[in-house]
Structure formats: structure tokens, C-alpha cells
């Protein structure tokens, strides 16, 4: 995989304009959801060629599906987009995951530029080339690794973000600290969500993710560190997504998953009770508890059998061997995952 160019801050949108004006570029489409069309697209428009095509999709995880991709592909086809065209993905992780996937498959690949507009997408989803959609209730079950040509991060987009969405993105920031930066965790615990300059948080978090992805872009090994909190988190998110009125945001599920997987780390003798307490106290100071009943824990844990880190019947989890030190390929059982959910439920 080649590298993506990365632009963060005031140079990001002018850099996008320069990329789109590159000789040989045939057409430009912008994929945005109903909210980013309204709140972010006007800021992007001056940096786009006048004849660009706007493709709008419905907002929300429930639309991260093949059906939405089909609509995107149909529009690109109708407007005769070729491989020298560019798809600009303007939105949160749903738009960047789905748009990146559409770009990778359309005519076996057209150019793609990511303009992430949520904290979660700026620190995580927009970086590293994991693209995909949900399928049959399983998270990101269909997807490809395909780096975009460029990632253009303008932290000013965060100004219109709902506080709940900002918090959800913060979960992935905390994940980066827990797997790779103990000092940032110590500092972050003091600061909490009272952040003066989100651009600095974004920059530091992107650096952690990029360093890990650079070592292992296709997730054969160390990239699995970035999945801390996701074995349980994705199971919980998938379980609740299918139930009316109970869906939680990806970051909220990951925050819960990190508590469960930190607890599992203690059970495996990798993390101390004191460290678990620090992690839990901090996460519960930011995130509300995800609601489920103990009767549901087995069914939730069962969903981890489809986790992409698994090998055969072995469920491989990423755990912590200390704050700031993730460790991947740690085998866990469905029973242990269910027990971790019961622990979380009792807190
Ligand atoms: N590919 C990866 O590496 C990766 C990493 C983490 C998460 N993800 C995926 O990302 C998705 C979650 O992403 P998300 O949290 O960004 O959710 P999202 O894309 O659903 O965006 C959250 C909400 O915020 C709105 N929004 C976006 N930008 C806005 C802005 N600037 N102002 C106001 N509203 C805005 C969206 O319309 C949406 O309603 C999940 O599907 C998750 O699986 C992927
Ligand atoms: O970039 C990665 O690698 C990650 O695992 C980042 C995660 O935060 C993200 O949610 C990712 O989409 C999960 O991937 P999956 O392979 O578990 O679907
Ligand atoms: Zn995630």
C-alpha cells in the first residue's frame, strides 16, 4: 500500500483544491451525508471545481450498507465517472468507511480523498485505509484495505459537532493513549473533555495511529493494537444496533469495550487492579454506562465469534499489559467475554 498525503489545519482545504486541480483529473464527486451536506459542504465548496457532483446519503450507522454503496455506484456510473475521477468523502466515519469502499471497488479503483468531519473520523476512521460496510448485522463485515490518496483534516469542522458525537470520538483518542502513550493518559485524565485546542489532540492522536499503521497496514500483527476495546465493543454495538431505540454510538460501545477488555487484562495477570481502577474511573467520568441486562450478555458475547482478528475457533483479543502498552493475539473465550460484560454491568 502506498502512503496517503496528510494535511491538518488551515492548509488542508487548499491542499484538497490543488489535488483536484491536478492535470488529468476528469470529474470530482463529493459524498456527504444529510448533516455534512448542510454543515460542512458550504465550507468545502469554494475549494471544489464548479462542475463537481454532490452525492448525498442518509446519515447514521444503519445506512453503512451495500444498498447505500449501490446508490453511490449508480450515480458515478450515470455521470460517467472514470478512474481519473476523484471521490471526496466528506463526513464522519460512516461516510469515510463507505466512501472509501465505494472508491476502491468502482471500476477497481478511482481516486479518493478523505475529508473527515467528526473527531472520531479525524483521529481514527479517516486514517489508515480500513474501508467497508456492515453486513447482516456485523460491523465492517465487508471491506478492503485501501489508503486514500490524501486525508485533509480541518479541525474547524468540529465546531458544529454534537457534544455526544465529540465524546464518542474521544473514546478512540483514549484508546490510542491506552495502547501506546501512558504519559498522554496521565495528562488526559486531568484535562478530561475540557480541551482548549482540539487540533492538538487530533494531531497527537493521528501520529499514534499512523505510526502503528505504517508498521502493519494490512493488520497481520501490531495493527491489531488499534482494535483494543473492539472485540467486546463491536459485539455490543452490533447487538444494540438491531434493536429499536437501543443503538449506541461506535465510540460509546468502544468505551464500554475498553472497560471489559481492561478487566480481562487483569484476569490474565497483565494489568494491575489499580490500573483497571484508573481506566474505569476515567472512562466513567466521560461516558454514560451502556445499558443491557445480564440475561443478554451471552448473546452479545457470541457475536465476537465473527470478529476479524479471530483464527478458526480462537477469539483473539487485544489486551493491555500496562497503561500505554497494548498486546495483541490474546486468546479469550466467549464465556470470558460474557463474564467481562457482567463485570461491566455490576459497576
Ligand atoms: N476505518 C476505521 O479505521 C474506523 C475507525 C473508527 C471508526 N470507524 C467507523 O466510523 C463510524 C463512526 O464514525 P462517526 O462517529 O464519525 O459517526 P458518523 O459518521 O455517523 O457521524 C456522526 C454524526 O455526526 C454527523 N456529523 C458529521 N460531521 C459533522 C459535523 N462537522 N458537524 C455536525 N455533525 C456532523 C453525522 O452526520 C452523523 O450524524 C463507525 O461506523 C465505525 O465503525 C472506522
Ligand atoms: O484502524 C484500525 O485498524 C482499527 O481497528 C480502528 C478501529 O477504531 C475501527 O473501529 C475499525 O474500523 C475496526 O476495524 P475492524 O477490523 O474491527 O472492523
Ligand atoms: Zn473504532
Residue 57 CA, ligand 1 centroid: distance in Å: 13
Q: Give the mean model confidence (pLDDT) for residues 18-40.
A: 98
Ligand nearest to the CA of 249: 1
252 CB under 6 A from ligand 1?
no
Q: Which of 45, 131, 29 is nearest to 82 (CA)?
A: 29
Q: Tens digit of pLDDT for each residue in 105-162?
A: 999 999 999 999 999 999 999 999 999 999 999 999 999 999 999 999 999 999 999 9
Residue 242: its pLDDT value, please? Answer: 83
Domain boundaries, the chain: 5-160, 163-346
Q: What crossing angle do the helices spanning 273-286 and 163-180 adopt, rounded to 10°?
A: 160
- Nearest CA, atom 9, ligand 1: 93
238 CB under 6 A from ligand 1?
no
On the question of pLDDT at 276 being above 90, the answer is yes
Q: Give the mean model confidence (pLDDT) for residues 190-196.
A: 90
Residue 305 CA, ligand 3 centroid: distance in Å: 18
140 CB under 6 A from ligand 2?
yes
Q: Region of 322 please: left (phi>0), alpha (psi -120 to 50) or beta.
A: left
Residue 226 CA, ligand 2 centroid: distance in Å: 7
Residue 124 · residue 209 · CB < 8 Å:
yes
pLDDT band at 189 (very low <50, low <70, confident <90, very high): very high
93 CB under 6 A from ligand 1?
yes
Residue 172 CA, ligand 3 centroid: distance in Å: 6
Q: How far apart are CA 183 and CA 119, in angstroms?
A: 21
Give the number of C-alpha atoms closer than 13 A to the C-alpha of residue 42, restricted to the C-beta side: 4
Q: Give the mean model confidence (pLDDT) for residues 226-234.
A: 98
Residue 1: its pLDDT value, please? Answer: 66
Residue 63 CA, ligand 3 centroid: distance in Å: 17
User: What percent of the chain has a predicted confidence (pLDDT) above 90?
Assistant: 97
Q: How far apart are CA 115 and CA 26, in angstroms?
A: 20
CATH match for 5-160 among 3.90.1300.10, 3.30.360.10, 3.40.640.10, 3.40.50.1970 = 3.40.50.1970
List of residues 6+ apart from 76 with CB closer than 8 A = 29, 55, 85, 87, 102, 106, 110
Same CATH topology for 5-160 and 163-346: the answer is no
Residue 286: its pLDDT value, please? Answer: 96
307 CB under 6 A from ligand 1?
no
Average pLDDT, the chain: 97
From start to end of the chain, where are the E strands? Answer: 5-8, 28-33, 53-57, 86-91, 111-116, 130-135, 138-145, 150-153, 315-320, 326-332
Residue 295 CA, ligand 1 centroid: distance in Å: 30
Residue 27 CA, ligand 2 centroid: distance in Å: 30
Q: Give the mean model confidence (pLDDT) for residues 61-70.
A: 98
Task: For the full predicted model, state whether its pTM sits above 0.90.
Answer: yes
Ligand 2, from 226, 257, 305, 326: best to mutate by most atoms within 8 Å of Cβ?
226
Q: What is the ipTM of this complex?
A: 0.99
Q: Which of 285, 268, 238, 264 is nearest to 344 (CA)?
A: 264
Would the CA dihedral through 72, 95, 231, 233 be positive or negative? negative
Residue 183: its pLDDT value, please? Answer: 97
Say which CATH class 163-346 falls into.
mainly alpha
176 CB under 6 A from ligand 2?
no
- What are the CB-based long-range contacts (under 8 Å, 24+) for 306-310? 306/138, 306/141, 307/230, 307/231, 307/234, 307/235, 308/140, 308/219, 309/219, 309/224, 309/227, 309/231
Residue 249 · residue 170 · CB < 8 Å:
no
List of residues 6+ apart from 46 with CB closer than 8 A = none
Q: Tens digit of pLDDT for each residue in 288-301?
A: 999 999 999 999 99
Q: Grid coordinates standing for 42?
A: 458550504
Residue 111 · residue 85 · CB < 8 Å:
yes
Residue 3: its pLDDT value, please? Answer: 86
Torsion of CA 118, 67, 306, 207, to 10 degrees: -20
Residue 148 CA, ligand 3 centroid: distance in Å: 18
Ligand 2, from 216, 227, 235, 241: best to mutate by most atoms within 8 Å of Cβ?
227
Amino acid at each position: 500500500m502506498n502512503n496517503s498525503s496528510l494535511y491538518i489545519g488551515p492548509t488542508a482545504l487548499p491542499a484538497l483544491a490543488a489535488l483536484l486541480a491536478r492535470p488529468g483529473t476528469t470529474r470530482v464527486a463529493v459524498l456527504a451525508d444529510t448533516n455534512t451536506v448542510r454543515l460542512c459542504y458550504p465550507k468545502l465548496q469554494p475549494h471544489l471545481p464548479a462542475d463537481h457532483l454532490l452525492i448525498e446519503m442518509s446519515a447514521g450507522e444503519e445506512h453503512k450498507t451495500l444498498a447505500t454503496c449501490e446508490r453511490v455506484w449508480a450515480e458515478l456510473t450515470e455521470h460517467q465517472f472514470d478512474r481519473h475521477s476523484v471521490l471526496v468523502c466528506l463526513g464522519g466515519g460512516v461516510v469515510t468507511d463507505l466512501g472509501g469502499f465505494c472508491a476502491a471497488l468502482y471500476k477497481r479503483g478511482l481516486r479518493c480523498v478523505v475529508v473527515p468531519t467528526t473527531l472520531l473520523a479525524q483521529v481514527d476512521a479517516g486514517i489508515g485505509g480500513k474501508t467497508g460496510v456492515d453486513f447482516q448485522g456485523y460491523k465492517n463485515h465487508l471491506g478492503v484495505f485501501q489508503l486514500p490518496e490524501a486525508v485533509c483534516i480541518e479541525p474547524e469542522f468540529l465546531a458544529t459537532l454534537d457534544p455526544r458525537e465529540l465524546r464518542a470520538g474521544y473514546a478512540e483518542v483514549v484508546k490510542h493513549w491506552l495502547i501506546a502513550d501512558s504519559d498522554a493518559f496521565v495528562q488526559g485524565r486531568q484535562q478530561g473533555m475540557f480541551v482548549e485546542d482540539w487540533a492538538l489532540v487530533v494531531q497527537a492522536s493521528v501520529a499514534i495511529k499512523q505510526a502503528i499503521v505504517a508498521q502493519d497496514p494490512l493488520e497481520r500483527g501490531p495493527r491489531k493494537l488499534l482494535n483494543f476495546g473492539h472485540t467486546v465493543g463491536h459485539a455490543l454495538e452490533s447487538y444494540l444496533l438491531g434493536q429499536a431505540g437501543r443503538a449506541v454510538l461506535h465510540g460509546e460501545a468502544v468505551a464500554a469495550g475498553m472497560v471489559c477488555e481492561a478487566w480481562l487484562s487483569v484476569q490474565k495477570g497483565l494489568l494491575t487492579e489499580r490500573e483497571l481502577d484508573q481506566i474505569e474511573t476515567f472512562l466513567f467520568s466521560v461516558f454514560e454506562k451502556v445499558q443491557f441486562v445480564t440475561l443478554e450478555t451471552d448473546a452479545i458475547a457470541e457475536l465476537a465469534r465473527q470478529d476479524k482478528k479471530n483464527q478458526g475457533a480462537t477469539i483473539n483479543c487485544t489486551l493491555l499489559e500496562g497503561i500505554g502498552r497494548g498486546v495483541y493475539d490474546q486468546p479469550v473465550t466467549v464465556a470470558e467475554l460474557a463474564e467481562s460484560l457482567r463485570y461491566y454491568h455490576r459497576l
